[in-house]
Amino acid sequence: MEKDANGTSSTDPASFKLLVSCPSGLSPAQVRYTLSPYDSLQTRLANEHSFFIVSVAFSETYDRIPYSDVSLENTISEVDLIWEQRSQKNNSLFNGNKFRYGGYVLDAGGGSNREPHLCLHLGLTDYRFHLSAPLLNDFCGDKFKSFVGKIPGSIRSPLGNGAVVETNDNKIIVLQRSNNVGEFPGHFVFPGGHPEPQEIGITSHQHVKELTESINIKVSQEMFDSIVREVVEEIGVPASSLSIPAFIGISRRDLNVRPAAFFFIKCSLDSKEVQQFYSNAQDGYESTQLFAVPTIDLENMTSKMPGCHRGGFALYKLMVDTKKIT
């Protein structure tokens, strides 16, 4: 399931790894989320048309594990202080709870009654620590790099999202990030952000076990609702112009271990109409320019994308190639 990027090193901001690939795409009806790692097999959704069944185990088991090196763990408090100082000077820096990507388990299925089953492991984390990871590198150097490689469970790893949006005239939407954002200012990116736990009332793991069934539905819907919300807020198009998102996989930037779930979305507007809506986008301040480009030109822009978004393009290409075959 995991695939390394070719031609880049782990220190290259554009390097990435494909963690999950669903080239046929999965719609909300084909995705099921469970809150307990113990009942995912019992509650998976069978659908004969799905590429494979997806569930999510949401549990504190998949929260960050403290570093075993005491000095490295203690450094986090110093980084927190620097974060507070920086955020006071830059209003675009903010913190908040996020879902933490903790890995996955793939059951290849087998037999006439068993569908292939992918279970994503999610915990809770916060955004501040993730953006502060480069500071830990500055403080601790090789020690931090060593722990990132050997103990991935100690990284905050907030799950982001991104959308490859295709217009009615077959152009792909790309944004150039503002110089005031916390990550990769000036780089090219697809529209995106994060699925938000607070949108569905999750602030901690407390009481989650008591509300399993209702949370299942909410987590499932938030994964898809959040990417539509991000696209609407960042490029300004109405939600009614967007198709139901198709989940195409998860990529991870090697630099500071940043995972992102990617979706493919068709837009009923042409590229000129999208440009007009962009001028009034709610979160237009996060970017300085919108590009609508054909796929052949998009590939030339990926070298200036963060690795997780470059991986998003790779997932999109796999989807396109799969459609050509079928």
Task: Pick the range with the lowest mean pLDDT from 40-44, 181-185, 199-203.
Answer: 40-44
Mean pLDDT score, 221-227: 89
- Residue 85's pLDDT is what? 74
Residues forming a β-bridge with 253: 16, 258
- Summarised one tens digit per residue, pLDDT across range 76-135 is 666 667 667 777 777 666 677 899 998 887 766 555 555 666 777 888 988 765 555 555
Task: Pick the range with the lowest mean pLDDT from 33-47, 77-91, 106-120, 295-309.
Answer: 33-47
- Residue 204's pLDDT is what? 86
CA separation for the pair 291, 269 (Å, rounded): 14
Task: Pick the range with the lowest mean pLDDT from 133-142, 148-157, 290-299.
Answer: 133-142
> Tokens representing 168?
């009615």
The more confident residue out of 66 and 112 is: 66
Position 31 pLDDT exceeds 70: no
Total number of domains in the chain? 1
- Order of strands, sheet of 97-107, starting from the edge strand that comes earlier in the sequence: 53-58, 117-126, 97-107
- Residue 26's pLDDT is what? 75
Cβ within 8 Å of residue 206, ≥6 positions away: none
Half-sphere exposure for 115 (CA within 13 Å, toward CB): 20
Residues forming a β-bridge with 101: 122
> Tokens representing 207?
């009481």
Among residues of the chain, what percentage have pLDDT more than 70?
68
The more confident residue out of 229 and 87 is: 229
- Summarised one tens digit per residue, pLDDT across range 236-250 is 999 999 999 998 999
CA separation for the pair 324, 326 (Å, rounded): 6
> Tokens representing 169?
């005239």
CA separation for the pair 47, 113 (Å, rounded): 11
The more confident residue out of 52 and 53 is: 53
CATH of the domain at 239: 3.90.79.10
Position 49 pLDDT exceeds 50: no
- Residue 106's pLDDT is what? 72
- Does pTM top 0.85 for this prediction? no
DSSP strand pairing (117-126 vs 53-58): parallel
The more confident residue out of 11 and 276 is: 276
Structural domain including 139 reads 3-325
